[in-house]
Every structure is written in C-alpha cells, then in structure tokens.
Amino acid sequence: MMKTFTPDSSIASDVIPSANYGERNRGRLPDMIVLHYTGMPDVEAAIAKLCTAGTDVSAHYIVLEDGRIVQSVPEAKRAWHAGVSYWAGEEDINSCSIGVEIINRGHDWGYPDFPLRQIAAVIALCRGIMLRRGIPSHRVLAHSDIAPSRKKDPGEKFPWHSLANSGVGHWVQPAPIVRAETLRLGSISDDVLKLQQAFAKYGYGIPVSGRYDGPTMDVVTAFQRHFRPARVDGIADVSTLSTLHALLTNLPNDDDQAGAG
C-alpha cells in the first residue's frame, strides 16, 4: 500500500492512497484527462474498489456527489483506469493520462443526473490539472471515447457543454436532428469510408474499411454520448456527421494535436 502523500490538487479534500498503481511507461508525462463514472450503487464500495489491492483498478481522483474530491494516486504515477483503450495513435492510455472517477451509479443502476456541485468540482479539478500539465481542451475525454466497444461512461447525461463553457473539453453546439438519409449498420460505401476516416482523424480507434460494422456503430454511439447526446442510437445521421465535421474544423493544428506522443 502506498504511504499517504500530499495531494497534487489544492482542492482535493482527502487522500485515500490506492494500492493499485505503477510507473508511467517510458517516462511519459500525462497529456490527457479521462473522465469515468464509478457505475456502482454504493459509494463506499466504489471507493474501496478503487483503493484496495487485488481489484486492479484505480484512478488519480474520485469526485463525490457533494463536490468533495479524494486523490488516490499521485499524478506522477500511472493509475489503472483506462483498460484496453486507444486514442489518436496511443494504446497505453494509462501512461499518458490522469484518470478521474465521478461517483454515479451509472446505466446499470438507474443512471441519476450528476449534481451541480459535483460538476462544479469536476470543472475546477480539470482546470487545475490542465493548467499544471499543459493539457489542451481536446484531450479531455470520456472513457467511452477511448473504449467505445466496452464502455458507456460517463454517458449521455454528463454535461460536457457545461465543462466546455468553463474551458474544459472540446465542444461545438450539436447540429440539429433532421429527417434525412443515414448511414447505419450494414451500409457499404465511400460515404462510410469517409465517415470512418473522419472519426480516425479525430482520434477514435475505428476500422477504416468502408463497411458500417459493429465497431463502427460502437464508435458512432460513443461519439453521440459525448457530442450529440439528444439521440444515442449508433446511426450516423446528418446531425452526427455535421457535428463531427464541426469539431474537426475547429481542432488545433496537427502539431498541437500530436501532444507529447
């Protein structure tokens, strides 16, 4: 078990050291923040799981519903929060990221709204990390973005727009949902190929085959949860495509996008 340590964030109210951590590979410095929900009905059990030896999971920070923030792993160390994941050419997400677990029961347990005090705390925490670490806003991501076939968190109720209003995360106003032709499971076309190329350019791990397969549908679903939460159905409609292209258009240039890779 790690001895107690001084929190990296001035707004962390408690330190509960986790037994589950290691060194960042190749001396990587974190240049990404990944947001999760705990997905368990019991708060104490969720914290225990993240801190107890043998569970093989941890996060740097845990944000409680009342806005209190617990740090469990020092930012310099590698927490075990991302699992098998990918973003923008990077497969060892744990080595290049700060993991933030947000207490919320999740989709399997009723999926309540995130309290305003909790979101305010997440924003303040992320702003501090971004400032200290020089992390650009487009490198604040959902667990579902980096593991779209496995994860839903923090989900479509998470108010990414509120974070973006405070400078945390990349966001554009989602394009309105209209009746029109769509790309969906089973489609095979150049349009599907272009869609997959656009998602890959943004950072998603997606097969670029021209075939709208299961993994492609998973990526579209994950994208909608984050960037177009009004309808999450895995169908690439005009709204989804327009929102994706608007995000690509106002991304920083490639030099910024490359991060510390």
Active-site positions? 101
Q: For residues 62 and 15, give the distance between their C-alpha atoms in angstroms, rounded to a whole number.
A: 10
Is residue 166 within 8 Å of 119, Cβ to Cβ?
Answer: no
Helix count and strand count (H, E) for the chain: 9, 8
Q: What is the DSSP string of 6-74?
A: --SSTT--EE---S-EEEPGGGPPP-EEEEEE---S-HHHHHHHHHSTTS----SEEE-TTS-EEE-S-
Residue 110, SS3 per DSSP? coil
Q: For residues 251 and 142, give the distance between their C-alpha atoms in angstroms, rounded to a whole number.
A: 17
Residues 6+ apart with CB under 8 A from 226: 141, 142, 144, 145, 160
State the first-to-last Cα distance of the chain, in angstroms, to the nearest integer: 31
Q: Which residues of 138-155 are buried (b: 16+ CB within 10 A; e: fewer)?
A: bbbbbbbbbbbeebbbbb
Alpha-carbon distances, residue 124 vs 66, 68, 76, 106 (angstroms):
14, 11, 19, 22
